[in-house]
Amino acid sequence: MKKRHILLGVTASIAAYKSCEVISGLKKKGHEVTCILTADAERFITRLTLETLTKNKVYKDMFELPEKREAAHVSLADKADLIAIVPATANIIAKAASGLCDDLLACTVISSKKPVLMAPAMNENMYGHAVTQKNIRELQKLGYHFIGPVRGGLACGSVGVGHIAPVEAIVKRIEKILK
């Protein structure tokens, strides 16, 4: 497969560290990766870690001055061949389903005509909640792709459906969508 550009959105979940493994998997396949880090995600993983792994600038602030005078959310959306949100919290799923654009990641997703893959990771009760399930169905109707979550250990100490999908499966799914 030819080299593609993946825009990786990282949201505020304990599973944010899995985004590093996804970056490594994509880079090994020869893909370019750029990240958008939500403000709360930075409580779990740093910009420096993601920049070191991607060898690219990590974007976070909607109003950060870009190197060029262009709207970051539009230029990032245009440059990407696919947007992957790993992990995808109930919050970003709800934002995408409702069209809420209150941060750089949400604005970039809604500015894009490219495929979007979400890898949910959250507490089983949050994932199974009727509102979250309705939001996922609405996004699927719009063409969004989802992978997981799977049954596994959760941050709260319980075991249930809400554990992020395996990294290898996420990377394979990204490549399948890109074909």
> According to the 3-state scheme, what is the secondary structure of the chain?
CCCCEEEEEECCCHHHHHHHHHHHHHHHCCCEEEEEECCHHHHCCCHHHHHHHHCCCEECCCCCCCCCCCCHHHHHHHHCCEEEEEEECHHHHHHHHHCCCCCHHHHHHHHCCCCEEEEECCCHHHHHCHHHHHHHHHHHHCCCEECCCEEEECCCCCEEEEECCCHHHHHHHHHHHHC
Q: Is 156 a catalytic residue?
A: yes
Single-letter residue type at 152: G
Length of the chain: 179
Q: Which residues are catalytic?
A: 156
